[in-house]
Amino acid sequence: MADKLADPYSLTPEQIHTLLAGGASFFPELEAARKDPAALRSSAATQEVLTQTEDLMKGIEQIPQTTYSKSSLFALTGDREQYETPYFLKRHRLMAAALRMFLGQTELKPIVQDYIWSICEETTWVLPAHSRRAIDLFSAETAYNLAETLVLLGDALDADIHARVRREVEERIFQPYLTWYQEMGWYKAHMNWNGVCNSAVAATFLWLDPVPTRAARAVAIALDGLHTFVDTAFEADGTSSEGVGYWNYGLLNFIPLAEMLRAGSNGVIDLLTSERMRLIAGYPAKVQLSPGHFTCFADSHEESAFNPGNIARLAERTGERSLYNVIAGPAPAESDWRLTSTLRNILWWDGRRPKDIELGDAFLPSGAVARMVAKTPFGTPVVIVIKGGHNAVPHNNNDIGSFMVHIAGESLLTDPGAGLYTRQYFGPERYQNIFCNSYGHSVPRIGGELQPEGRQYEGTITVDTSDGEKRATVDFTRAYAVKNLQSARRQITLIAQGKDAGSIVLQDEFRFSDSPLPVEEAFVTWSEVEVNGPTAIIRGRHHTLRMTIEAPQGAAFAAEYLEKESRENKKPAILKRLTFLLPEAVTQQARVRMQVTQR
């Protein structure tokens, strides 16, 4: 294997063309699988995917339809679900059928071809929510997945199918990308769209473009954009401010593209083996709470699933073994709709998931997130995560000082994560939604004011774990636009030793320069709650968190059930908000002790 390049992102089209001209396979694992289909069919990873997709085959003859009426709902009401459900179901069913056809169920050929043809018949591959864009996330991914379907099934598909896909991809993706790439807002964006779109488009060019020199130009364009993605979509310590879900999505096509280029150039073009990528690879395990559970700050979801093929390959290339922790636990109930991801789950992963993981303390200074871990005297793991940062990250929530208390696989104090994606959610009304504004987070309301959005609203975080108590301190004075607020500080202490191990103490202090303002403390949970004066009890499935107000004297908890907001955002449970008020004074302090017990 030749020496890898020091700066693969700056290659010229001519250099790329020369490096890829040797005829090496872009996907050698797929070529190997063709020679031993029986081994592929019987692998643990294949069997997992077949089980996950079994229900998709029921009624597969009925192709889901993306109608005009469903498409127009986004403009009329802001609804995305009615159109996107059949859009993705169609692609998911195509993946399930194409994989089975490759594994020997040749009788599925008419169904596979009809699904491909139906996708090609769609007026646009761009979602209504992204209709102002020539190429969006899912048009790029549709092209990539159709291209890989052709590669996977080859001559088993009719020539007309190959020709139709190539024609549609040329018109919808290739020509717009080469002509207008610099005008596409995602091309050098500092977030997941850059990684998703540039990688998918470049991979599609490699698979389908009959003119190698043009494909090389497209790859050079993509690499220039992806250089910005790798440099700026992640913090200096590898953090994705968009959360683990968008970390996974941003790299979803980037890792396969990197491997295509590596294989096609005999190892010369290597995007993954670098210190920068090792830092990025190390991020998700540092914000893990337990198997399958992660911090859900910003528009994230606590229960996040990763593509094990990508995880295994990135861990191998970077040497970041902690990555395997993120696929621990049971397999997710559903597979990815993408054939591109499914093939790599089967071909890059051995099907094994870690059963147990041991979490430790972690601190991401650039990402402004701290994790502290302890165990109660009876062995129950207690994990606390808390964030600082600023209120202008991609997929931002106004949540500086937000924290989670996670006990043995369940978050009893939570961050609510993402709300329902609608037109309004990504428009001027975004911060009217409690899942975006700070009302729905475990942060104070000062003088009746919530945290505003904007880069200037920020908080710093420091961590001290030098003794038997672990402390994280957030200064969130600048997170509020309250003129006479002199300082606002939150400290969370996790007791790590002795009879009180696993107990938590939250201390907040507020100082005002002149006229004091009222402060409302707030804590949010999805679990059952019971309040009685200075005590609140949060009941999880297996454990209880008892919260006691130790200061100020006389303060009492109130419970607010955010039923309307939870229902409107299609949450499976009701978010509850536990609050108490501080007496108005120039200096105000709150102290809450939290203790874990078994139910």
pLDDT digits (tens, 9 = 90+) for 176-187: 999 999 999 999
Q: Is 354 inside any structural domain? A: no
Fill in the DSSP letter of residue 331: P
CATH code of the domain containing 71: 1.50.10.100
Are 113 and 172 in a shared domain? yes
Q: Is 285 inside any structural domain? A: yes
Q: Is 3 inside any structural domain? A: no
Please identify, among 304, 325, 348, the residue that sits at the C-terminal boundary of a domain: 348
Each residue of 164-219: pLDDT tens digit? 999 999 999 999 999 999 999 999 999 999 999 999 999 999 999 988 999 999 99
Are 342 and 367 in a shared domain? no
Q: How confident is the model at residue 330 (pLDDT cuts 50, 70, 90)?
A: confident
CA distance 46 to 51: 9
Are 288 and 377 in a shared domain? no
Are 320 and 436 in a shared domain? no
Q: Is 66 inside any structural domain? A: yes
User: Given a cut of 90, is residue 575 above it in pLDDT?
Assistant: yes
Q: What is the residue type of 437?
A: N
Are 316 and 457 in a shared domain? no
Q: Dihedrals φ, ψ of 34, to 5°? A: -60, -30
Are 331 and 402 in a shared domain? no
Q: What is the mean pLDDT of residues 373-390?
A: 98
Range of the domain at 385: 362-598
User: For residue 332, what pLDDT is reported?
Assistant: 85
Q: Is 355 inside any structural domain? A: no
Please identify, among 293, 315, 348, the residue that sits at the C-terminal boundary of a domain: 348
Q: Is 2 inside any structural domain? A: no
Q: How confident is the model at residue 2 (pLDDT cuts 50, 70, 90)?
A: low
Are 233 and 122 in a shared domain? yes
Q: How far is CA 560 from CA 399, 419, 578, in A?
A: 19, 18, 6
DSSP secondary structure of 405-471: EEETTEEEE---------TGGGSTTGGGSTTTSGGGSSS-EETTBPPPPEEEEEEEEEEE-SSSEEE
User: Given a cut of 90, is residue 454 above it in pLDDT?
Assistant: yes
User: Given a cut of 60, is residue 1 above it in pLDDT?
Assistant: no
User: Given a cut of 60, is residue 319 above it in pLDDT?
Assistant: yes
Angle at 597 between CA 595 and CA 599, to 5 degrees: 145
Q: Is 249 inside any structural domain? A: yes
CATH code of the domain containing 429: 2.70.98.70
Domain count, the chain: 2
Are 167 and 33 in a shared domain? yes
What is the residue-averaged pLDDT of the chain? 97
Are 262 and 399 in a shared domain? no
Q: Is 548 inside any structural domain? A: yes
Are 223 and 184 in a shared domain? yes
